[in-house]
Structure 1
């Protein structure tokens, strides 16, 4: 078979195109392949058992990682608790007063405690990496653990006396019972109508701030006689901008107290609330009366303690004479109603020498700059 082609161009330029097919025969091949053989079905190589095994391995690795995180945290917190216990034992052997050694141990414990919190949060973040819901969950778990640690820290109270107004020239020491008060201190309390004042600190108050504010919130006369300051351990570091890192856990702690306050003390009590109850019982046994001085979250502490005694344990006539609240987070009217339910009355002698009987009273004072007791003006609605 042959063929040829010829072409011309009438323009100024010309070209010739030739094409030909020779007689060379092309290769020919006959196939008998069928349609089915050309379209063979794909082989199912998916192995469910292998996939499940792989997923199971990943789950085990994840679980093991979290178990390691929890175990590491447990060991480090054990070191924190040991240092604090050693510091407490030193004070107990020194009349409740700090020494350079107890101060060093407390500082080391506080530093390690903060480090553990960040390690726990960091490992928790790694564990939840890549899963937003899990990451949020781990953040909540680590912050809640901070609050739990603070709520269950061993009970701690300090007895403070001040020789000047608003807390100047104060001395304080740790005590474990009213039995640790000296004879001189007890005599001063008895001369003061047998009244001992109990102070519960507010939110974001470490030990130092609790002592300072206790002095500011009581009269000069009360400060000279002495005040029992019940510690509500911090959930984190409160220095400067560090306070922001503790905001979530601190609010969780306060939120738990508020919920328990609303529920009437039906939830487990914090150790600070239990310590208030210890003081109430001791005062009843010794024939003493109690004035309370509570700021912010401390109002919740004293409220839950009383509600639980009255409503859940059936203990009435708790000798609370006057309850003073400063920018409190509790409902003062509800607390006053609880005092009425408690049923305690006390007798005083007036200027004319007449004996007058009073019921327990609740008093509230809020500083204009207190953001807890008085919300910003934009949120303030007068009744």
Structure 2
């Protein structure tokens, strides 16, 4: 079947393909008629109180707002009744509901998550195991369908809104340069980067005359960065190391790290900040960029299992600003010297990625990404954009400093 933006929203994957590749999406979880009916009543009641319109065939609920079309109400109710918000995402992947303004719908649902899904249904971490497929954020082919030529998979920094596709690469450079300025990276700086990404930030640092050790999280990331660094002519200034971040050795004048904290998982946050403290030279500076969530939402999220953890970043969880400050002040010799938030810029970045991915539908087809995969990736980008637009997520650049040694 040829993929197009229309086919992602209109076509349903064939049963054999779906069952083989996407077992939890191919069919709703088993449920009795009574349980499905009870879930339906609960979900209808919750949706009916929201600023949204939800259409179930000829029936509709809601107080007005973006339209959500539920094509298979029974399957929709069974999934949410069994899996909460994980079920909501899987129902979208299965084509059981659709929205012309997907971000608008997801923004409303993000703002009213507690009303839509009761707490017992959110505390389902570990109830099902990951299927073990490689996660899409590791796929260079997929990222090339979504990102600009820098292949940077983190928030850009724009001069103004609305942002435009042809300005995305410059906005990514602006973000990188601001981090490097924050860390005072210049000629002769011994710089450590935790989380290599595409190698773009390391290249920008090398252009300033820094010597860079950048630590990759996967062999694919390492190979991509090495190729781009070599093509840029900086392989004599940048080394790309594949190693667990906690095993990095040496002392560095400056450290930069972009959106790595949320990927390593809460259980590794203490080790992450202890590593920064251990390898940063006295008088050095650390410039971090990370997604964050409100602290009360972080506390409520502990013990839950999210759709994003299941399909995109296993174990990933954005910290709160309060959690970061607590780790830094209580567990390290570092000081939090500056913080700047720019959440709306991430929302715009995600919008541009999503639009670019839709534009590249034919290429996605040629690369073998099936309809469910494309709906999954579209849902991921829209879901994250909704998080930033609703204020449930933010993105910050932080400056950490370390005192000079006394004479």
Q: TM-score scaled by structure 1?
A: 0.29
> Quick check: which has more Rg, 1 or 2?
1
Q: Comparing both chains, which one has the higher relative contact order based on Cα–Cα distances under 8 Å and sequence gaps of 6 or more?
A: 2
